Amino acid sequence: MNKMLCFCLCLFVAGPLMGQAGRLDSSFAGKGWLTTRFLIGNKNEERGLGIMLKPDGSMIVLTEGTTAPPYSTKTSFLVRFSADGKQDLNFGVDGFSQQVNLIHSTAVQLQDGKIIVAGALTDDGAFNGHLAFARYFEDGDLDTSFGSNGILNTKRQIDEPSAVVLQPDQKILVAGTTYDNEIEQYGFALARFSPTGIPDSSWGDAGIATTFFNTNHPEILGGKASSLALQTDGKVVVAGSILNGLLPSKDFALVRYKSDGSLDSGFATNGIQVTDFTGGEDEASSVVVQQDGKILVAGKSGNTNSDFALARYHANGMPDNSFSGDGLHTTDFFGGPDQASTIVVQDDGKILVAGSAKSTSGRSALALARFHANAAPDLSFGGTGRFIDESIGTSVSARAIILQPDHRILATGYTQGVADSSLDLVVGRYQPEGSLDLTFDDDGKGTAFYTYSGNSRLHHIAVQQDGKLVVAEALFSLARYHADGTPDSTFGIHGQVVEAPIGEIQITQAIAIQQDEKLLLAGHDPAYDGSVLMRFQINGTLDSTFGNNGVVKTPSFSGNAIAIQDDGKILVAGGLTNPVFGTGDFAVIRLNKNGTMDDSFDGDGILITDFVNIRAAATAIAVQPDGHIAVVGSTINFPNFNLVLARYRSDGSLDPDFGIGGKQETDLFGSHDMAAALTIQKDEKIIVAGFSERKNTNRQNFTLVRFNKDGTLDSTFSKDGKLASPYNFNRDNRAGDIVLQEDGKIIVPVNFPSLDPPNGLIVFRFNPDGTPDSSFQENGMLRSYFGKQESARGVALAGNRLYVSGVQRQGLFMEGLIAAYMLEEAGMVVSSFTLIDAVRDTDAGELKDGAVVNLSAIRGTRISIRANTGGAAAGSVVMQLSGTQVHNRTENRAPYALFGNRNKEHTYRAWRPSPGPYTLTATPYAGTNGRGTKGTPYTVRFTIVEELSLARFTLINAARNTVISTLSDGAVIDLAHTPHINIRAEQGTGVAESIRFGVNDQAAYSMESSVPFALAGDIRGDYAEWQVSPGTYTITATPYSENYGRGTMGTALRITITIIDSKAEQRSGIVQGAAEQQQEEGRGLSLEVLPNPVKESGWVQFRVPQATTVALFLADGAGRSIQQVFGGRVQGGVLQRLKVQTQGLPPGLYFCRLVTAGGKTVTSKLVRQ
């Protein structure tokens, strides 16, 4: 059968007809039902591979997981942590994005906040080797518009992707390792793709460039790429390792590619740099390009006891001897194996490296080290420049680090706990000086892990006063859900509490919710051979004020049912066994609020009732409004089991007005009769649900029995007080629970104990007289098909909603099942309003009460509002708008739009509202034109505002169409270093459709009516160059809500910048003589170098006669600028003193040159020793 057809048929059968009682409530879990498995152990492995910082301080961590048991299948997924280190359980599902079948993954964040994950594709666990992308939204959902359901197979062979970088033009670069079958060797691979994942044909060979080292180096047996870095000139550096067959050993390897993917022959030797530290195993893990163009590489060096290894190279690929003397540096922690995994360069030039190191205790721990720019240890970091952190686990490695804007350090990797051997994702945060930041998740680290889920069966269900839903799993576990079916993340872990120790069996028998919403869970522990009663706080932790740290155990007792009295005392019904004689008694215990035995109840808190049979046990209990206690169970009257019922006064004495001396024994159908639940009607009649096995069929069938207030069978119920299943299921079936509606109707779920239940979840509803309720689905039987075999166990009511819990089974595999139904079809209601972008006829989000709508955030500033209905079908909807503007509208068909729609399509008529407060009410009616029965109206109050502004200016390289930097007020731009510029205005609050640029007194310098908004113009992102001369410029950008400067005018953004051209100054003569310099000094402009000559650093002091913007440069002996020391505005007449770094410069003559915004220049010699 066609899969889509099958799916549609399943939905058709599963959904009861509209207008009929028992319809699945789609507002629960999106479809009316959900399945769940309880997380019973941390058996999977998770490793943090990369970390991405969000503007709000939260972080998204790329994670690789290995499923268990057994450890076989690897997947990739994302995890989000809030800024305080807590896992964000609203991300994806329970805090995890959807897993994708990618390994060796790496990730990058796009400009729009989406995330690209690159990895090697696997099919059903089999290695495939094709590079593939997965694209996620910021909320952790896969972007199904990308590729096939969010995953795109590039069909490019990169066996082990290792790094991904986003170019300024949003093209995607991926580095990794590939294999050539012809030469039988591994090599570097670097591929480039468009923002949509299409191979870039202008790069390499059909979008991929490969390097196999034995072409020019026959001694090299293969290479493996591990990292990549993008230079500002568009060239790409890939770092990794090669296998040297002569030694044999591994060495650092660097390859640089031009912007078209070809090897850069000007780098090292034919584009390749190979570095051997000491003849041992040298493996590069991470590469970064410094601001001065030098290249830093981190990894490990050595064999058994390896060390952190750093190498620095000049931009031409040759070792930088100013770095540790020869360009190479190693760091040993405590003599064991150490390995650097990642490296970053701080704003102050210090070098931060993270990885793992063997501690003095012999355990692998997270390791951090920080160095000065010359490779000297930074002693302000951890006291020695390095430290290891054993506080976050027993076997830890940092795989990635990132610096926050406040210079705190985020590191991610994995940790191995003491309790189990699995690896868990860890994120640690450290202060700038290296100490653990204890404000991060309260202990400095955040962890996340998938837990192993076993077969789950939901036996019991209850609803809290706040509408939250609590379910109990068969093996001592609880889960709590919101009314919409989402897990309640404030309860336990991901909304679940698992109390049974792993590997042990503890059987859940009952749950109850106290008035203070604390939860009681009762059951039986076979290992202890007694009952266990636990009480949980609202957050799912055990209540230490109850019993022994939240637990009360009673030996030789089976706690089968719970009831809570009005005074808060707790009743537990069950069976009390005598292990010596093998007998059992019908028993009830009563506990005080704190879990101690209530001695006022039958003298010692334990009440035993003798039914003169070998064995008896209570299975259900309820408290009547008058305080009397009704208890039902079963007793063995060999060879039969009979139903037994007892009623007690509040002190535990039998009620003589009930049955015979307070007891009633009933044989239902001459065979085995078992009770599972009872409920008490308003008239104090008692209904018992269970099952009975008849002698002639040996088949169990669910039964209902109703007793009068005095304990006699109620003949008005099913003629003789006894009701057997009206349906032949051809297999054992039982009633596991019962609930009464306000109108007296009785709801019973049907449980099938066999391994082969019928298809469909089954619930019966009976009228108060015991006849099937014909208004409830199929003559009183509701049957929902969810695609497998279902069995119902528990029921609960919440207003007009019926919850059913149970199990969904396929063979031996079981999942817990919860379904929600509308008992009676709801009347006509307006459930919500939707804000409409009337220019594009698209939804712009829900319009909620109290909303503030920024009209400028909707392109075109034209909106409409749609009323959404629910429940019974409406014939018309009347809408009334009041406030700043008034408008009334009656719509006779959907969509119900405030200003109407032109035809059957959703083509909305537009409204251009005036700013101010509004109130909108929509009322549904059964007939057209607002006639007939009136439904439930819906009202919202909202405010319209118009706020339009720009965020910032961005400096653009117009020759390459790339971003240079954010442009701030007072900036100095040297055309000698930054030629071919343009300036772009970025969107801020609202959405601008056009921007008018002004330059100095020219208020209408240019007009841009399409994104990007560039001062000198562009053609779809191909920027024109701003032809500008040196000087000071005030640039103004004014946003408008419509094209060509029409519509609402927003807040203008304004900055003042200074343009200089040091090359032009060089051509006019940079080196001024002493007399010329003195002449400038005579005008109040002075510049001096101290001391002079200079070694590694010196001081430059200068003074200007009046406040102005200046730039200070360091130039070589030929007058070429090599470093900008300072740029900004200074006060007049004040001596300024700045430090200039000369380390790394060869000895010789240099010049310091000060340039003012007015074009004045003064120069001083600097001699480097």
**739: Cβ contacts below 8 Å, ≥ 6 apart:** 679, 746, 747, 795, 796, 797, 802
Residue 138 vs residues 61, 410, 486, 978: alpha-carbon distances, Å: 12, 20, 19, 35
- Residue 1156: its pLDDT value, please? 85
> What is the distance between the alpha carbons of residues 968 and 978, in angstroms, rounded to a whole number?
15
Helices then strands, counting H and E runs in the chain, come out as 3, 85
Query: Where is 1110: in which H helix or E strand?
Result: strand 1108-1115
Q: Where are the alpha helices (DSSP H) in 549-608?
A: none
Phi, psi of 468 (to 5 degrees): -70, 150
What residues contact 985, with CB distance under 8 A and at least 6 apart?
950, 952, 953, 954, 995, 997, 1008, 1013, 1014, 1015, 1037, 1039, 1053
Whether the Cβ atoms of residue 457 and residue 473 lie closer than 8 Å to each other: yes
Q: Is there a contact between 74 and 64 (Cβ–Cβ < 8 Å)?
A: yes
The domains located in the chain, with CATH, are: 45-327 (2.120.10.10), 502-804 (2.130.10.10), 829-945 (2.60.40), 949-1062 (2.60.40.10), 1086-1168 (2.60.40.1930)
What angle is formed at CA 304 by the lines to CA 299 and CA 309, rounded to 5 degrees? 20
Q: Can you tell me whether residue 1066 is helix, strand or coil?
A: helix
- What residues have CB less than 8 Å from 171, skipping those under 6 apart? 192, 193, 194, 195, 200
Per DSSP, 867 falls in state: E
Two structure tokens written together for 747: 């709801």
Q: What is the pLDDT of residue 387?
A: 85
Residue 93, burial from CB neighbour count under 10 angstroms (0-12, 13-18, 19+): middle
- As a dihedral over the C-alpha atoms of residue 565, residue 567, residue 570, residue 571, rounded to 10 degrees, the angle is -40
Query: What pLDDT, on a 0 to 100 scale, did the predictor assign at position 420?
Result: 52
CA count, 13 A, side-chain hemisphere, 173? 27
How much is the pLDDT for 416?
Answer: 67
Pairing of strands 530-536, 551-555: antiparallel
Q: pTM of the full predicted structure? A: 0.51
Question: Could you give the CA distance from residue 716 to residue 769 in angstroms, rounded to a whole number?
Answer: 6
Q: According to the model, what pLDDT value does residue 1071 have?
A: 37
- Taking 50 as the pLDDT cut, the residues of the chain under it are 1-19, 70-71, 124-127, 394, 418-419, 501-505, 904-905, 1065-1082
Structure tokens at 936: 């439930």
Comparing CA positions, the residue from 821, 841, 705, 813 lying closest to residue 761 is 821
